[in-house]
Amino acid sequence: MIKVKINGQEQNWDGDPDLPLLWFLRDEAGLTGTKYGCGQALCGSCTVIIDKQAVRACITSVSDVVGRDVTTIEGLHPTGDHPVQKAWRQLNVPQCGYCQTGQIMQGAALLMDNPKPSHDQIREAMAGNICRCGCYQRIENAVHLASTGV
Amino acid sequence: MNILTNPKKLRGFERHLKVENVSRRSILKGLGIAGGFALAAPVMSRPAFAAYETGASKMPHGTVVDPRVFVSIAPDGIVTIVGHRAEMGTGVRTSLPLIVAEEMEADWSRVRVQQAPGNEAKYGNQDTDGSRSTRHYLMPMRQIGASARSMLEAAAAKRWGVPATEVKARNHEVVHAASGRKLGFGELAADAAKESVPGIEGLKLKDPKDFRYLGKGQIGIVDLRDITVGKAHYGADIRLPGMKYAVIARPPVTGGKVKSFDATEAMKVSGVEKVLEVKGWPWPSKFQPLGGVAVIARNTGAAIKGRDALKIVWDDGANGKYDSVAYRASLEEAARKPGLVVRKEGDADAALKSADMVITGEYYVPHLAHVSMEPPVAVADVKGDKCEIWAPVQSAGGTREDVAKTLGIPEANVTVNVTLLGGGFGRKSKCDFAIEAALLSKELGAPVKVQWTREDDVRNGFLHTVSLERIEAGLDKSGKVIAWRHRSVAPTIASTFAAGAKHEAPFELGMGLIDNPFEIANLQCENPEAAAHTRIGWFRAVSNIPRAFAVQSMVAEIASATKRDPKDMLLELIGSPRLVNLSSVKDPWNYGEPYSSYPIDTARLRKVVELVADKGGWGRSVPKGHGLGIAVHRSFVSYIATIVEVAIDGKGKLTVPRVDTAIDCGTYVNPERIESQIEGAAIMGLSLAKYGEITFKDGKVQQGNFDDFPVIRMDESPLVTHVYIVPPGPDTPPSGVGEPGVPPFAPALINAIFAATGKRIRSLPIGKQLEA
Ligand code: FES
Ligand code: FES
């Protein structure tokens, strides 16, 4: 039996300890805000925050997160009003929206690390997150907006 | 849309939402019927009426103009409007209900949107592709809203005992100006439901100058909040009690099948519950599944791990030798010989022979995969002779039909719940993944989710075709183009429906080949044969991608050969403002639209070129290593021109500092979503131009994920994309937005690369061609 802490809540897992955290979150814990896009750390759709760092849940096993704090999009802010989330809504960022939770988590992690990133730093930090709809211009602007106060 | 407080700091926002000089005028659980009142009235047939004719009536099941189907009002005043098309990122789930709200004078903050299940008899055509939603539904949605408004007004007038002409709906209430009395929509709902539905002929539509929402662009999409907090539900997010998770190993070669398999190791994987063979259909079979071996598990991760442990021997079948290198050579060979003539004006052969100069270009575009961010996925629950599906499908009605047929049950027994689509791009027009889920649920007697992995998506999809476009342009002494022969060779989408189809269908020929708008005396289009060896499908903008690439590259090639400005050359070829005469074409297709409403209007084509040249600073001086390229293309009956500024460094690394696009899509609903579509189209265009290539060897796709089929990421996306929307004339019918932005991008980029480096790229993707 493995115990993990997701969004401040203890959860038990009695299955394969190597199960990718992504599928534990989505299929076992019912936290479907974290998305599958590639399974190979290539797209960032599955981004969660672990100990203030953006982490790809698809290549992290459940056993890797024992004793660490996992935050998913559902736990980013109690009312969904994290500055990044607010900036996202202000700029109408999403198209299909599927990549957006991963983008928001990546953006939030970036601002924890660097509260005032330049445009170039944003472009670099967000480059691991693919948006097939192509919302990059707005994502870049929204992260910038969040960093300057919505 | 909130307007920013400090727009200067944000790239691209300095002009955001500035529409060119406008010179003219949380989802409810149920349909509000429980506890509320659907607007109900005696049934009467409502012939489709439109101020302008569209192709909507020719689509399966046409349009339904009936407020009782689309609108309901609860006693508390909440208005629920049905969105019957699929939301894949274009904003249609917001835009169409917004049109209804506009006409019925509903206050958008008190409107909820309800997604319709697949039922075309009830809602009209639901096949969300071809950039058709707004152009087919702007008028029907206005009529629905106007009907609802007049029923509310009639109910209020009766209540007050005054003539209906004295009352007016305004912002969610009906007002009697003379007496100052007011009644809210909620208070009127029950009475309004008893009113008869007015005939379309007598409907009074709002004067566009009174529009509060249409054409304004201040409205965020209805799913905006849910998306940002992780509560938006895509197909992959559906969870049912007792649901099993499945992944399927499908034949690596199109038309292949399972010879034998060994599940011993797979069954040892923790969480795997069952391994079974699933039925496949012989190729081609429209959208039927490929078959293979399914692994059933308690979660997706276990199913994937189980599948990795399967040992399968495949019978590759007839396509086992498909090889992209050899196939390209065969396309080139075919393009160098005469083919089926599909448009002919004058005598191109003779004119090419007598020309003073002939410029020939062969342009290649390989197969492309859609890679929507959400790979195909579906949940099905089959119980006895009933089936319920939850899936991100572009065509809910078509899915219902195909699932019913496959299971051998009546369509009425199949419910297709349409989730949000995590991208579609044409892939999700094919419902094979929903059929797979239905077959497995039937077999297992439990709800099943079938998840495609990214590798499945890349290797077992319905790819964009592979094409060779050969253009010969003949010029006279003065440099005027007197002859144009365009041969287009590509396996056809029709081959996915019928074995042996070798010529492109009218809907493919009509995407940038036979609809060539140039004013050239001797013009001939040909379509030599090409056989398909994999499943070919619609990909955002379809054949327009290779055609615009070829035609718009050739324009710049001619400009360069004759030392003219590419934009001037383009305008010269487009020629005089006129409606292009397509009488020499047997089936001009025209995106399914009547030519009377949607002719090829070269004045509009010229206008977007001139607009983008003006706003986008055509001819401006750029730093060394930079270049500007321009391209224009009409597709999905819209007109779009793009200027790309490219920068190439000493090592051949390409970046895009700026993109400018002008679009004329006629009358429009939500300019903010038009901008987002165009911004996205630039990135999809850059992806396919720079990287997009699926290749086959021994019948198998050689790519699998974003490492070997890369798409553009933020660090290489255009620094800024500007969008200019042409204000429509008072009666300009609406036209497509979702797809038309893609085709002009690649040629504008390629022309910019030529301007920057003198290097002419005729084969996509660019790949390492600039590094040499
Ligand atoms: S799903 Fe994890 S990075 Fe793509
Ligand atoms: S919004 Fe669709 S993938 Fe990013």
Per-residue pLDDT tens for A25-41?
999 999 999 999 999 99
Sign of CA dihedral B558, B562, B563, B565: negative
Q: Please indicate if any CB of chain B lies within 8 Å of the CB of A30.
A: yes
Secondary structure of residue B562 in the 3-state scheme: coil
- Measured distance CA(B175)–CA(B166) in Å, rounded: 9
Provide, rounded to the nearest whole percent, the portion of chain B with pLDDT above 70.
93
- Measured distance CA(B555)–CA(A28) in Å, rounded: 57
Provide, rounded to the nearest whole percent, the portion of chain B with pLDDT above 90.
92
Residue B217 — pLDDT band, cuts 50, 70, 90? confident
Q: Could you give the count of Cα atoms lying within 13 Å of B595 in the half-sphere of its Cβ?
A: 13
Report yes or no: B248 and B456 within 8 Å, Cβ to Cβ. Answer: yes
Write out residues 71-130 of A within 8 Å (CB-CB) of B.
72-74, 80, 85, 88-92, 94-101, 104, 119, 122-124, 126-130
Nearest CA of chain A to the CA of B374: how many Å? Answer: 6
Write out residues 649-668 of B within 8 Å (CB-CB) of A.
none
DSSP single-letter state for residue A24: I
Secondary structure of residue B394 in the 3-state scheme: coil
- Measured distance CA(B250)–CA(B719) in Å, rounded: 40
The whole-model pTM stands at 0.94
| Tokens representing residue B293 in the block | 């071996």
Report yes or no: B266 and B303 within 8 Å, Cβ to Cβ. Answer: no
State the best of B273, B457, B714, B719 to mutate against chain A, taking most chain A CBs within 10 Å. B714
Looking at B116-120, B202-206, B389-393, which range is the least confident one? B202-206
- Measured distance CA(B751)–CA(B747) in Å, rounded: 6
- Measured distance CA(B139)–CA(B142) in Å, rounded: 5
- Residue B216: how many other CB atoms lie within 10 Å: 18
- Measured distance CA(B188)–CA(B184) in Å, rounded: 6
CA dihedral B500, B502, B505, B509 (to 10 degrees): 170
The type of residue at A148 is T
Q: Could you give the count of Cα atoms lying within 13 Å of B461 in the half-sphere of its Cβ?
A: 35
pLDDT averaged over every residue in chain B: 93
> Which residues make beta-bridge pairs with B420?
B234
Which residues in chain A are contacts of B224 at CB distance < 8 A?
89, 92, 94
* Residue showing tokens 């938006």: B232
- Measured distance CA(B719)–CA(B739) in Å, rounded: 22
Q: Do A19 and B301 touch (CB under 8 A)?
A: yes
Q: Do A94 and B228 touch (CB under 8 A)?
A: yes
CA A23–ligand 1 middle distance (angstroms): 11
Report yes or no: B278 and B225 within 8 Å, Cβ to Cβ. Answer: no
Which residues in chain B are contacts of A22 at CB distance < 8 A?
301
CA B455–ligand 1 middle distance (angstroms): 13
- Measured distance CA(B650)–CA(B5) in Å, rounded: 40
Angle between helix axes A100-113 and A83-90 (nearest 10 degrees) is 130
- pLDDT given at position B414: 98
* Residue showing tokens 């170039």: A120
- pLDDT given at position A150: 59
What φ, ψ does residue B72 adopt, rounded to 5°? -140, 155
Among B10, B91, B713, whose Cβ lies nearest the Cβ of A130?
B713
Which residues in chain A are contacts of B705 at CB distance < 8 A?
38-40, 42
- Measured distance CA(B283)–CA(B378) in Å, rounded: 22
Judge whether residue B10 has pLDDT over 60: no
End-to-end CA separation in angstroms for chain A? 43
Among A28, A104, A139, whose Cβ lies nearest the Cβ of B299?
A28
pLDDT averaged over every residue in chain A: 97
Report yes or no: B136 and B56 within 8 Å, Cβ to Cβ. Answer: yes
Question: Is the distance from the beta carbon of residue A92 to the nearest atom of ligand 2 less than 6 Å?
Answer: no
Write out residues 690-719 of B within 8 Å (CB-CB) of A.
705-707, 711-718
- Measured distance CA(B208)–CA(B585) in Å, rounded: 37
Per-residue pLDDT tens for B61-102?
999 999 999 999 999 999 999 999 999 999 999 999 999 999
Report yes or no: A24 and B301 within 8 Å, Cβ to Cβ. Answer: yes
Report yes or no: B437 and B378 within 8 Å, Cβ to Cβ. Answer: yes
Report yes or no: B5 and A139 within 8 Å, Cβ to Cβ. Answer: no
Judge whether residue B35 has pLDDT over 50: no
Which residues in chain B are contacts of A130 at CB distance < 8 A?
373, 706, 711, 713
The residue whose C-alpha atom lies closest to atom 3 belonging to ligand 1 is A41
- Measured distance CA(B553)–CA(B716) in Å, rounded: 23
Residue of A nearest to B218 (CA): A92
- Measured distance CA(B83)–CA(B113) in Å, rounded: 6
Residue B729 — pLDDT band, cuts 50, 70, 90? confident
Judge whether residue B247 has pLDDT over 90: yes
Report yes or no: B49 and B131 within 8 Å, Cβ to Cβ. Answer: no
- Measured distance CA(B374)–CA(B545) in Å, rounded: 23
Nearest residue to B551 via CA among B694, B685, B746, B695: B746
Report yes or no: B536 and B322 within 8 Å, Cβ to Cβ. Answer: no
- pLDDT given at position B277: 98
CA distances from B230 to A74, B118, B301, B556, B661 (A): 6, 25, 20, 46, 32
- Measured distance CA(B661)–CA(B642) in Å, rounded: 4
* Residue showing tokens 């009697």: B176
- Measured distance CA(B677)–CA(B612) in Å, rounded: 17
Q: What is the mean pLDDT of residues B694-698?
A: 98
CA A32–ligand 2 middle distance (angstroms): 16
End-to-end CA separation in angstroms for chain B? 46
CA distances from B229 to A22, B291, B657 (A): 17, 37, 32
Which ligand minimizes its atom distance to the CA of A134? 2
Angle at B143 between CA B49 and CA B595, to 5 degrees: 40
Residue of B nearest to A136 (CA): B714
Secondary structure of residue B416 in the 3-state scheme: strand
- Measured distance CA(B140)–CA(B409) in Å, rounded: 32
Per-residue pLDDT tens for B367-417?
999 999 999 999 999 999 999 999 999 999 999 999 999 999 999 999 999
Residue B218 — pLDDT band, cuts 50, 70, 90? confident
Question: Is the distance from the beta carbon of residue A99 to the nearest atom of ligand 2 less than 6 Å?
Answer: yes
**Helix (H), strand (E) at residue B137:** helix B133-160
- Residue B333: how many other CB atoms lie within 10 Å: 12
Question: Is the distance from the beta carbon of residue B227 to the nearest atom of ligand 2 less than 6 Å?
Answer: no
Among B12, B239, B683, whose Cβ lies nearest the Cβ of A134?
B683
Provide, rounded to the nearest whole percent, the portion of chain A with pLDDT above 90.
98
Q: Do A97 and B227 touch (CB under 8 A)?
A: yes
Q: Do B680 and A30 touch (CB under 8 A)?
A: no
Q: Please indicate if any CB of chain A lies within 8 Å of the CB of B679.
A: yes
> Which residues make beta-bridge pairs with B694?
B367
CA dihedral B635, B637, B641, B642 (to 10 degrees): -50
Secondary structure of residue B363 in the 3-state scheme: strand
- pLDDT given at position B52: 86
* Residue showing tokens 């660490």: A68
Residues with a CB atom less than 6 Å from ligand 1: A 36-39, 41-46, 56, 58
> Which residues make beta-bridge pairs with B379?
B390, B449
CA dihedral B595, B598, B602, B606 (to 10 degrees): -170
Report yes or no: B733 and B666 within 8 Å, Cβ to Cβ. Answer: yes
Per-residue pLDDT tens for A116-150?
999 999 999 999 999 999 999 999 999 999 999 75
Report yes or no: A99 and B423 within 8 Å, Cβ to Cβ. Answer: no
- Measured distance CA(A96)–CA(A87) in Å, rounded: 17
Which residues in chain B are contacts of A144 at CB distance < 8 A?
9-10
Per-residue pLDDT tens for A54-113?
999 999 999 999 999 999 999 999 999 999 999 999 999 999 999 999 999 999 999 999
Q: What is the mean pLDDT of residues B684-689?
A: 98
DSSP H stretches of helix in B494-565:
506-509, 544-561
CA distances from B500 to B208, B323, B697 (A): 51, 18, 21
More confident residue, B21 or B255: B255
Residue of A nearest to B451 (CA): A36
- pLDDT given at position B30: 23
CA distances from B195 to B33, B41, B146 (A): 17, 6, 14
Going by their DSSP bridges, the two strands B522-527 and B481-489 should be labelled as parallel
- Measured distance CA(A61)–CA(B512) in Å, rounded: 49
Q: Could you give the count of Cα atoms lying within 13 Å of A131 in the half-sphere of its Cβ?
A: 35
Nearest residue to B63 via CA among B124, B118, B146: B124
A60 CB contacts (<8 Å, ≥6 apart)?
A: A20, A21, A22, A50
